[in-house]
Structure 1
């Protein structure tokens, strides 16, 4: 696995994906991110490492545009402007992240053998929380007359 750190762009596959985004026309970038996330989000018998690495990077880009998210800054992430991504893409990104960490994921299987597995998993959990925040409880007292 051509990985040098735990960040979403700290591997060869994600860095290549970022390069592909940079080379694509601005109007094509959203579709590229959608495609990567859709491919990973569909439950399957097996999610290959490369699809998992690209999905994690794409989810980080989506989370980076959320007000509570951290920008997906990296020397290896996209350097060109991304279009504003639609909010409904977050649902697909969450589904993709769920597959990336599932027991059917080659990426999760390989990370489980690494010493810094728990930090990698915590970073994904943090991304997921930004993309799928809990619904705040309703305060019924506000609506009482």
Structure 2
């Protein structure tokens, strides 16, 4: 994975996901976000989670969190250019579960960030997303 910074879209995989969202019809974008999250939550805890799946799930969670109270807008040039429609509230809890899986054991992303010496900074960004989503999910 080509990564240039710590942001949720600052890697090739997440940036490509932003482009796929822009290419999709507006009424299909929510399904793409849901698919990205369920690709991660559908893996078993003993299964090793690839960094590409994790990066897309984090990007999807960031877009969902942006629509929550206290969420930060996704303003990076690497995210989608087209605005997302209002998203279903049940995606918030799914995004929390996906972030837990991505940040947990048997996941490549935490390992890669640890190797880069930035695991605390990355984990803090994930924790902020998770907090916004969990609060909004009730």
Corresponding residue of 1:27: 27
User: Shift of the alpha carbon at 1:131?
Assistant: 0.4
Aligned length: 136
Contact 1:42 1:96 in 2 (8 A): no
- Larger helix proportion of the pair: 2
Contact 1:40 1:96 in 2 (8 A): yes
Aligned to 1:76: 78
> Which residue in the other structure is 2:93 paired with?
91
Aligned-partner Cα distance in 2 for 1:116–1:73: 22
Identify the residue that residue 143 of structure 1 maps to in structure 2: none
CA distance in 2, matches of 1:74, 1:115: 23
Instruction: Specify whether residues 134 and 90 from structure 1 end up closer, same or farther in structure 2 by C-alpha distance, changes over 3 A only.
Output: closer
The unaligned stretches of length 5 or more in structure 1 are 137-145
Conserved 8 A contact 2:9-2:79: yes
> Alpha-carbon deviation of 1:81?
1.5
For the pair 1:40 / 2:40, whether they are aligned, the reply is: yes
- Find the aligned partners of 1:6 and 1:16 in 2 and give their Cα distance: 16
CA contact (8 A) 1:8 1:56 kept: yes
What is the CA–CA distance in structure 2 between the aligned matches of 1:48 and 1:100, rounded to whole Å?
9
Q: 1:133: how far off?
A: 2.1
Whole-angstrom CA distance in 2 between matches of 1:51 and 1:15? 13
Tell me, yes or no, if the aligned pair for 1:36 and 1:51 is still in contact at 8 Å.
yes
Pair 28,113 (structure 1): closer, same or farther in 2 beyond 3 Å: same
Q: Tell me the residue number matched to 2:125.
A: 123
**What TM-score does the superposition give when structure 2 sets the normalisation length?**
0.93
Runs of 4+ deviating beyond 4 Å:
none
Task: Note the C-alpha offset of 1:134.
Answer: 9.0
Per the normalisation by structure 1, the TM-score is 0.89
Counterpart of 1:5 in structure 2 is 5
Paired residues of 2:69 and 2:136 also in contact (CA < 8 A): no
